[in-house]
Amino acid sequence: MSDPVTVTVVTHPVAAEALTHLRDEQTSNQIFRTEMRRLSLVVVAEATRGLPTAPRQVRTPLATTDGVTLASRPVLVPILRAGLGMLPAAMELLPDADIAVVGVQRDEETHAPSEYVAKLPTRLDGRTCLVLDPMLATGGSLAHGCRLLADRGAAQPITVACVLAAPEGISHLRASGMRLHIVTAAVDSHLNERAFIVPGLGDAGDRQFGPPH
């Protein structure tokens, strides 16, 4: 039986350089946000490689030629709050996309996900959804967000765009029973005792937006 969860690791020099800046503890919040957008452009471009298209003819200044248009309007789903950093790049590549948001926070003691907001269409039957979350650590938040989409009928496999992933998070998603495609810039070594990715880049939300309090 085929694996319900596939993983694509983006290999591109621009992505590798941007990720290096994100990992550097000396990178300021301002530069971190810039590099997050830069890396997200490459990751989201790869994550949307399989989007269906429809033929369209256009007239150039010289002749008529064949082109394409996206066959459907995808739904971008950032997982708050860190996923907001990937949203500008995704919107730039998919300007006609709809946007839904899911807010899931992790209990720092139990590491269990807790939903605090979910602004989603009632039904997503057959729609292509792209989930944006920089860090696939334990997998709890992403599994929760993807389950909300699957329960509303989103087309599977649901694509998840990440900056970093941990093996433990990938395993958790494999155990969820959902069909998912994970696109990430790197799969790191492991999670530490605080469920942070190692070597990682720290807390992606805090490094983009500052500490919450």
Residue 15 belongs to a domain with what CATH number?
A: 3.40.50.2020
- Each residue's pLDDT tens digit, 170-207: 999 999 999 999 999 999 999 999 999 999 999 998 99
pLDDT at residue number 21: 97
Pairing state between β 64-70 and 53-59? antiparallel
pLDDT cut 70: percent of the chain above it:
94
Q: How confident is the model over 6-11, as a mean pLDDT? A: 97
Asked if the structure places residue 65 within a domain, the reply is: no
For the CA atoms of 38, 40, 42, 44, the dihedral, rounded to the nearest 10 degrees, stands at: -150
pLDDT cut 90: percent of the chain above it:
82
Is 27 annotated as catalytic?
no
Report DSSP letters for 2-34, one per residue.
--SEEEEE---HHHHHHHHHHH-TT--HHHHHH
**C-alpha span between 22 and 69 (Å, rounded):** 34
pLDDT at residue number 92: 96
| Cα 26–chain centre separation | 25
- Each residue's pLDDT tens digit, 133-176: 999 999 998 999 999 999 999 999 999 999 999 999 999 999 99
Residue 108 has pLDDT above 80, yes or no: no
Asked if the structure places residue 63 within a domain, the reply is: no
Asked if the structure places residue 189 within a domain, the reply is: yes
**C-alpha span between 104 and 132 (Å, rounded):** 13
Is 110 annotated as catalytic?
yes
**C-alpha span between 198 and 127 (Å, rounded):** 34
Mean confidence (pLDDT) of the chain: 92
pLDDT at residue number 111: 60
The number of folded domains in the chain is: 1
Asked if the structure places residue 56 within a domain, the reply is: no
Q: What is the pTM of this model?
A: 0.91
Q: How confident is the model over 17-43, as a mean pLDDT? A: 96
Q: Catalytic pick from 96, 107, 110, 151?
A: 110
Asked if the structure places residue 179 within a domain, the reply is: yes
Asked if the structure places residue 152 within a domain, the reply is: yes
- Binning pLDDT at 50, 70 and 90, where does residue 1 land? low
Q: Catalytic pick from 23, 127, 179, 203?
A: 203
**C-alpha span between 197 and 165 (Å, rounded):** 8
Structural domain boundaries, residue 97: 5-51+70-209
Q: Catalytic pick from 23, 106, 127, 179?
A: 106
Asked if the structure places residue 178 within a domain, the reply is: yes
Asked if the structure places residue 58 within a domain, the reply is: no
Is 20 annotated as catalytic?
no
